[in-house]
């Protein structure tokens, strides 16, 4: 089904309180963000996310305890709550986000709480907070996605809502040598992972595990030298993007039931992120069968 922007926007307007969104941004980024957030409206890629992780998955949100892994600025934690989540727990490595979002939730008496942590903390927090639904928004590129999926599968969480920038398998064609090698015992290929050499030149924190203990606990920057200067060499990392077939094979292997799988059908032109412009986002709605 093609993306119906006006329809999704109408649902957004019923649930999102513009004053809440402005206050949430100011709580995280300070008063300097007031001017840019005052008249903010959701663009194509925001509404696509909203449709596929909130609107189409509302039965896994309403009345549920939800964990938002890598909650970032808290928008999707907030929207899950506005669509009926009983309680939302966000995990985020950046202290400025955690502190600001907790202050926002407390000031507005909202059933949300935020913890400073990493993907390696997810399994523990799912258990400690008796989570029903795990929300994972593009956290597969920089984290140990497979172990997070294992941890969720072993937990009592019933639902997984996931967005990934999964690559088309047609991007790589295996040569005959690969299949000859597979016949000797290792098994047939189930897809691929592409690795991208990048720098942590923004505030995504905890990206490079080698320097995780050196990151600024407030901003998440990993490339500040002892003098406080920018040091791009310390931010070097490898990002990983998985092929669609590999993702699906792993989901099946882990034992999740796929309730919905949707590939982005309309490129989003309102963002500089290549995955959105190329139309390769994929959304999954999974049931954790027990």
Q: What is the pLDDT along the chain (290 residues), one digit of tens a residue?
A: 567 889 999 999 999 999 999 999 999 888 888 887 877 889 999 999 999 999 999 999 999 999 999 998 999 999 999 999 999 999 998 899 999 999 999 999 999 999 999 899 999 999 999 999 999 999 998 889 999 999 999 999 999 999 999 999 999 988 888 888 888 777 888 899 999 887 765 555 456 777 777 777 887 776 667 777 766 677 777 888 999 999 999 999 999 999 999 999 888 888 877 888 888 999 999 999 87
pLDDT of amino acid 206: 53
Q: How far apart are CA 279 and CA 269, in angstroms?
A: 10
Quote the pLDDT of residue 269: 81
Coil/strand/helix, residue 236: strand
Would you state the pLDDT for residue 202?
A: 57
Residue 44: name the closest of 204, 285, 260, 277 by CA.
277
Inter-helix orientation angle 244-254/145-154, to 10° = 30
Model pLDDT, residue 207:
64
User: How high is the pLDDT of residue 263?
Assistant: 94
Angle at 241 between CA 240 and CA 247, to 5 degrees: 120
Query: What is the pLDDT at residue 17?
Result: 94
Give the phi and the psi of residue 33 in degrees, each rounded to 5.
-90, -5
Q: What is the pLDDT of residue 1?
A: 54
Q: Which of 44, 93, 101 is nearest to 205 (CA)?
A: 93
Domains of the chain, first to last: 5-171+243-287 (3.40.50.150), 176-236 (no CATH)
HSE-up (13 A, CA, CB side) for residue 224: 15
């Amino acid at each position: 089904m093609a993306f119906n922007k006006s329809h999704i926007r109408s649902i957004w307007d019923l649930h999102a309180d513009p004053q809440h969104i402005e206050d949430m941004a100011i709580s995280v980024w300070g008063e300097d963000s007031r001017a840019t957030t005052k008249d903010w409206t959701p663009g194509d890629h925001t509404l696509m996310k909203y449709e596929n992780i909130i609107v189409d998955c509302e039965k896994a949100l309403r009345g549920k305890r939800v964990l938002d892994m890598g909650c970032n600025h808290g928008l999707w934690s907030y929207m899950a709550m506005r669509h009926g989540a009983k309680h939302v727990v966000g995990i985020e490595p950046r202290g400025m986000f955690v502190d600001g979002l907790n202050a926002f939730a407390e000031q507005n008496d909202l059933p949300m709480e935020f913890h400073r942590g990493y993907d390696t903390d997810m399994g523990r927090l799912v258990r400690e907070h008796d989570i029903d639904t795990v929300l994972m928004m593009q956290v597969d590129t920089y984290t140990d996605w497979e172990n997070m999926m294992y941890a969720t599968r072993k937990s009592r969480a019933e639902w997984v809502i996931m967005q990934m920038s999964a690559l088309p398998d047609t991007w790589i064609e295996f040569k005959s040598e690969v299949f000859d090698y597979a016949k000797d015992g290792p098994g047939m290929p189930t897809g691929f992972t592409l690795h991208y050499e990048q720098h942590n030149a923004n505030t995504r924190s905890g990206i490079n595990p080698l320097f995780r203990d050196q990151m600024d606990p407030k901003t998440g920057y990993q490339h500040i030298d002892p003098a406080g200067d920018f040091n791009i060499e310390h931010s070097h990392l490898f990002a990983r993007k998985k092929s669609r077939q590999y993702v699906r094979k792993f989901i099946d292997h882990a034992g999740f039931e796929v309730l919905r799988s949707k590939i982005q059908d309309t490129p989003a032109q309102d963002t500089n992120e290549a995955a959105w412009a190329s139309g390769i986002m994929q959304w999954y709605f999974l049931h954790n069968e027990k």
